[in-house]
């Protein structure tokens, strides 16, 4: 398990089986590994929930939530709300920022560890508690006699205030507060690390793009999560202490929650995707055997996306009755995001152009990402139009759009990064054939799930309903079959993990420091796989 190289470098490497190593951990690589394991577990739970959703929606009528074991249609709403919250806060964010960010930001910038290792430990260990509270909320009363919070991940009042009188939503608030503290502490850690601990000679303009992506993401977290915390606290006091921030009877306005929520919520969706942008840049460059096209443009495109992400929030709420001039502003500002995003897409393509491309597993995932993210981006430009959105708001067209950019975009980039760094993280090679089969099932399955949802949305099928009219039956069935295909892919993913654990001692699986060749130029490839427990005791010098 513990590689000989690591043991050789540093005699203080604790055993894998010592619980103190993990609970007291201040090592960025160990904490990163814990984040990744946490994200996989949360992803399995959140993915199982989407299975219940697709099972229910496979046919018209009530299949699953028919007052039987799985409860009634309120429980369907609970499952969709929890699916969203889990996938965002407990799967994508821990994997991208906590997992890959912790592992590779210090390695890439040539730092021995994060700036505040103990704070890093707290950031991680807050998450299991937060997650437990969220799961617990499903089993305490939400509305009347029904358990759980069924108000969607957006948690709009009055459904989340007077509409849910039980304690379930209070647990959700507490859970998200803790997750928010965890994210903010993590963000501060990344900002400090990147500003103060870069190796000598590594200027910001020489810094790898993944570190750039994490830096921008950390700033987005730092500025947006406190607003969510504020809005959630207002919900909490509205519910329990008689304030009326969102209650018209006391002079409040429920629409204001939507403004506050989306001021957080829109940067949040960039928080979910920006680290993926960084990962994809490295992979495309490595497997095209070329430096990334337009490095500075790539870095500043992310900065621009981050900045513009803060001034477009009301495009999520075109239907609240805002006036046409305001809509015109939000339409224009939203569409401008397509410019820096286009710079990134075209730069990836230009990186591949004329390159000597090898279609290894991470590259396949990366190309899949570029294609799927572009599809999601195009439907995003559609939805940016206030007039069009009037019809598409809260239909399955929106569901299809954000799953293309997140469920396919962000998740594909996570898998791309996972297979890119697998050897580096776990110190064992994986079976490329199995991983490629997983890609095949994921690609076919995910498209089968979400592409038909465009048709359903255009035909007017609304989100967040447990049932639908018979006219939507066909494409819903196709979508549910897609889920089964993706589920098969998920089994191949677990197979990859199990197979590589079982065969870890065979010579074929012995890790290399740099399996990808000389086009993998970032500093993590100069270290052994897995890296020594403490690296860069002598700081690397960057020319």
Partner 1 sequence: MKFLRDKNTRVLTICLAAVVTMVGMAYAAVPLYNLFCRVTGYGGTTQVAEADTGQVLDRTVEIRFDASTDHSMPWVFEPVQTKMTVHIGESVLAYYRATNPTNHPITGVATYNITPFKAAPYFSKIECFCFTEQTLAPGESMDMPVLFFVDPDLDETARLDDVRIITLSYTFYEAESDETNISSAGPDRGTASLD
113 is a catalytic site residue: yes
344 is a catalytic site residue: yes
Smaller CB distance to partner 1: residue 82 or 197?
Answer: 197
Residue 318 in the binding site for partner 1 (CB under 8 A): no
423 is a catalytic site residue: no
**Is-contact 341 273, C-beta < 8 A?**
no
Residue 165 in the binding site for partner 1 (CB under 8 A): yes
Minimal distance, residue 167 CB to partner 1, in Å: 12
Of the residues 463, 504, 510, 534, only one is catalytic, namely 463
* 481 alpha-carbon distance from chain centroid: 24
HEC assignment per residue over 460-483: CCECCCCCCCHHHHHHHHHHHHHH
C-alpha 501/C-alpha 137 separation (Å) is 35
- Selected from 11, 196, 356, 518, the binder of partner 1 by CB under 8 A is 196
Instruction: From 11-19, 171-179, 435-443, 460-468, give the range in contact with partner 1 by CB under 8 A.
Output: 460-468
Q: Is the dihedral of CA 401, 403, 405, 408 positive or negative?
A: negative
* Nearest alpha carbon to residue 412 among 453, 374, 369, 445: 369
β-strand partners of 143? 146
Residue 150 in the binding site for partner 1 (CB under 8 A): yes
Draw the binding track, 116-135, toward partner 1 (x: CB under 8 A; -: no contact). Answer: x-------------------
506 is a catalytic site residue: no
Considering only residues 197 through 226, tell me which ones interact with partner 1, judged by CB under 8 A. 197, 222-224, 226
**Is-contact 276 175, C-beta < 8 A?**
no
**Is-contact 103 48, C-beta < 8 A?**
no
Instruction: From 19-27, 101-109, 163-171, 286-294, give the range in contact with partner 1 by CB under 8 A.
Output: 163-171
- 3-class DSSP state of 20: helix
- Count other C-beta atoms under 10 Å from residue 17's C-beta: 9
C-alpha 319/C-alpha 317 separation (Å) is 5
Minimal distance, residue 34 CB to partner 1, in Å: 23
Residue 249 in the binding site for partner 1 (CB under 8 A): yes
Considering only residues 73 through 112, tell me which ones interact with partner 1, judged by CB under 8 A. 73-74, 77
Which helix (H) or strand (E) segment holds residue 512: the answer is: none
- Count other C-beta atoms under 10 Å from residue 78's C-beta: 24
Residue 67 in the binding site for partner 1 (CB under 8 A): yes
- Selected from 136, 256, 484, 495, the binder of partner 1 by CB under 8 A is 256
Instruction: From 34-42, 237-245, 288-296, 331-339, give the range in contact with partner 1 by CB under 8 A.
Output: 237-245
25 is a catalytic site residue: no
Max distance between CA atoms of the chain, in angstroms, equals 72
- Exposure string over 439-448, b if 16+ CB within 10 A, otherwise e: bebbbebbbb
- Contact residues for 372 (Cβ-Cβ < 8 A; gap 6+): 404, 408, 409, 412, 446, 447
C-alpha 212/C-alpha 194 separation (Å) is 9
Smaller CB distance to partner 1: residue 33 or 160?
Answer: 160
Of the residues 33, 80, 183, 361, only one is catalytic, namely 183
- Selected from 12, 20, 203, 321, the binder of partner 1 by CB under 8 A is 321
C-alpha 398/C-alpha 87 separation (Å) is 17
Smaller CB distance to partner 1: residue 35 or 264?
Answer: 264
**Is-contact 529 3, C-beta < 8 A?**
yes
18 is a catalytic site residue: no
Minimal distance, residue 323 CB to partner 1, in Å: 6
Smaller CB distance to partner 1: residue 235 or 485?
Answer: 235
HEC assignment per residue over 93-159: HHHHHHHHHHHHHHHHHCCCCCCCHHHHHHHHHHHHHHHHHHHHHCCCEEECCEECCCCCCCCCCCC
Task: Give me the count of residues in the chain.
Answer: 543
395 is a catalytic site residue: no
C-alpha 78/C-alpha 142 separation (Å) is 9
Of the residues 113, 146, 389, 524, only one is catalytic, namely 113
Residue 70 in the binding site for partner 1 (CB under 8 A): no
- Selected from 4, 144, 203, 296, the binder of partner 1 by CB under 8 A is 144
247 is a catalytic site residue: no
30 is a catalytic site residue: no
**Is-contact 260 311, C-beta < 8 A?**
no
389 is a catalytic site residue: no
C-alpha 510/C-alpha 3 separation (Å) is 10
Of the residues 3, 33, 281, 351, only one is catalytic, namely 281
Instruction: From 20-28, 137-145, 411-419, 488-496, give the range in contact with partner 1 by CB under 8 A.
Output: 137-145
Draw the binding track, 23-62, toward partner 1 (x: CB under 8 A; -: no contact). Answer: ----------------------------------------
183 is a catalytic site residue: yes
Of the residues 56, 170, 238, 268, only one is catalytic, namely 268
**Is-contact 337 378, C-beta < 8 A?**
no
Instruction: From 28-36, 187-195, 419-427, 530-538, give the range in contact with partner 1 by CB under 8 A.
Output: 187-195
Binding site for partner 1 (CB under 8 A): 67, 72-74, 77, 115-116, 143-146, 150, 158-159, 162-165, 184, 187-188, 191-192, 195-197, 222-224, 226-227, 229-231, 234, 242, 244-245, 247-251, 253, 255-256, 259-260, 321, 323, 465-467
Residues marked active site are found at 83, 113, 153, 182-183, 266, 268, 270, 281, 315-316, 341, 344, 463
């Amino acid at each position: 398990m513990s590689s000989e190289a690591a043991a050789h470098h540093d005699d203080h490497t604790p055993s894998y089986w010592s619980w103190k190593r993990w609970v007291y951990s201040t090592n960025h690589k160990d904490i990163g590994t814990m984040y990744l394991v946490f994200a996989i577990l949360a992803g399995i739970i959140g993915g199982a929930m989407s299975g219940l959703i697709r099972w229910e929606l496979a046919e018209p009528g009530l299949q699953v939530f028919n007052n039987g074991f799985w409860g009634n249609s309120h429980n369907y709403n609970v499952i969709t709300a929890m699916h969203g919250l889990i996938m965002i806060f407990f799967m994508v964010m821990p994997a991208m920022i906590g997992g890959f960010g912790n592992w590779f930001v210090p390695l890439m910038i040539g730092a021995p560890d994060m700036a505040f290792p103990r704070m890093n430990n707290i950031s991680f260990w807050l998450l299991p508690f937060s997650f437990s509270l969220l799961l617990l909320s499903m089993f305490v009363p939400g509305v009347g006699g029904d358990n759980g919070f069924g108000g969607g991940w957006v948690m709009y009042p009055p459904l989340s205030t007077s509409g849910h009188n039980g304690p379930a939503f209070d647990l959700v608030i507490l859970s998200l507060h803790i997750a928010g503290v965890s994210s903010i502490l993590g963000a501060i850690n990344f900002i400090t690390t990147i500003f103060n601990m870069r190796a000598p000679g590594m200027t910001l303009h020489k810094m790898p793009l993944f570190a750039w992506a994490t830096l921008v993401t950390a700033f987005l977290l730092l500025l947006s999560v406190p607003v969510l915390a504020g809005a959630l606290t207002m919900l909490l006091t509205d519910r329990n202490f008689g304030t009326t921030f969102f209650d018209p009877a006391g002079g409040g306005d429920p629409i204001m929650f939507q403004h506050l929520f989306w001021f957080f919520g829109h940067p949040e969706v960039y928080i979910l995707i920006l680290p993926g942008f960084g990962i994809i840049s490295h992979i495309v460059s490595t497997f095209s055997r070329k430096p990334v096209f337009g490095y500075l443009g790539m870095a500043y495109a992310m900065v621009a996306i981050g900045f513009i992400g803060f001034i477009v929030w009301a495009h999520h709420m075109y239907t609240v009755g805002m006036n046409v001039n305001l809509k015109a502003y939000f339409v224009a500002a939203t569409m401008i995001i397509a410019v820096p995003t286009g710079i990134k897409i075209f730069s990836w393509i230009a990186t591949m152009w004329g390159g000597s491309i090898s279609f290894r597993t991470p590259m396949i995932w990366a190309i899949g990402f570029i294609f799927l993210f572009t599809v999601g981006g195009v439907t995003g430009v559609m939805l940016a139009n206030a007039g069009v959105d009037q019809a598409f708001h809260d239909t399955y067209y929106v569901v299809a759009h954000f799953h293309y950019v997140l469920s396919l975009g962000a998740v594909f980039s996570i898998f791309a990064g996972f297979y890119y760094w697998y050897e580096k993280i776990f110190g064992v090679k994986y079976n490329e054939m199995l991983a490629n089969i997983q890609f095949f099932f994921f690609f076919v399955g995910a498209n089968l799930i979400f592409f038909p949802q465009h048709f359903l949305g255009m035909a007017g099928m609304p989100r967040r309903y447990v049932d639908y009219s018979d006219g939507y039956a066909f494409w819903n069935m196709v979508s549910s079959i897609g889920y089964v295909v993706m589920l098969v892919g998920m089994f191949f993913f677990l197979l990859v993990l199990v197979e590589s654990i079982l065969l870890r001692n065979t010579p074929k699986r012995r890790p290399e420091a740099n399996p990808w060749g000389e086009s993998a130029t970032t500093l993590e490839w100069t270290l052994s796989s897995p890296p020594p427990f403490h690296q860069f005791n002598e700081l690397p010098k960057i020319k």
